[in-house]
Amino acid sequence: MIKSLPLRRWAIWGAVMVMTPAIGMSAYLVPTGSITNAMLAGSIAASKLTGTDITTVGALTAGSIASGFGTIATANPITTTNATASTSISTGAVIVTGGVGITGRLNVGGTINQFGSTTPSHIAFGQTTPPALTSCGTGSPTNTGGSDYAGLVTMGNSATGCIITFNVAYTTAPFCNVTWLATPLASQSYTVSTTAITLTQTSTSGNKVVYRCTAPSGG
């Protein structure tokens, strides 16, 4: 015969604790809404709020995001209401110490105040494959350190021109400056399209040309 075990109940701050003395087990039955955020404010130790214990939180109003936090994954814009203008590397609404990696396009709506601090910094491009060179004379014409933005082209032998084809076509034809180094040739000119710079010159071997291109509004 199985005998029912007696249950005891106590009211504890709006909850009911049910205890079964025979087996030493207890449970708290908490009515919905009986424990509020205000009742718990400041009473939970920080050491208890770790791992997966927190699934939803409100606005973060103090503290900092420590090293090892992980990734903030959101499809929504991350904005700041701080309107502090940046006048140096240690002022402004957002201050980053270290590198910033960006996948995609960076649009700056304001003024880029400066690069570097007391030591001058330089703009460099990560493009590792220079624009392709065709019809640049015989031999081995080269594009030293070339990118879609800038490069130094050394013509081949008996070159009457050269086509510098961008790795990625511009949306509209870029603004390009092309400079022939050393003594000007009898004839030298160039045209620019969304896909390439086309050079035309008096037949010469091994002369050098520098180009620099900037995309117009819209890319």
Q: What CA–CA distances, in Å, run from 1 to 4, 6, 23?
A: 10, 16, 18
User: What three-state secondary structure class fits 48?
Assistant: helix
- pLDDT for residue 66: 74
- pLDDT for residue 117: 67
Please state, as a whole number, how many other Cβ atoms lie within 10 Å of the Cβ of residue 137. 22
Please state, as a whole number, how many other Cβ atoms lie within 10 Å of the Cβ of residue 179. 10
Set out the domains of the chain in order of their start, with CATH numbers.
Answer: 8-38 (no CATH), 132-214 (2.60.40)
Helix (H) and strand (E) counts in the chain: 1, 11
pTM (two decimals): 0.57
DSSP assigned state of 138: B
DSSP assigned state of 86: P
d(CA 100, CA 142): 32
- pLDDT for residue 168: 92
- pLDDT for residue 215: 92
User: What three-state secondary structure class fits 185?
Assistant: coil
**Regions in the chain scoring below 70 on pLDDT:** 1-61, 87-89, 113-120
Q: What angle do CA 108, 110, 115 make, to 5 degrees?
A: 75
User: What three-state secondary structure class fits 93?
Assistant: coil
d(CA 146, CA 129): 8
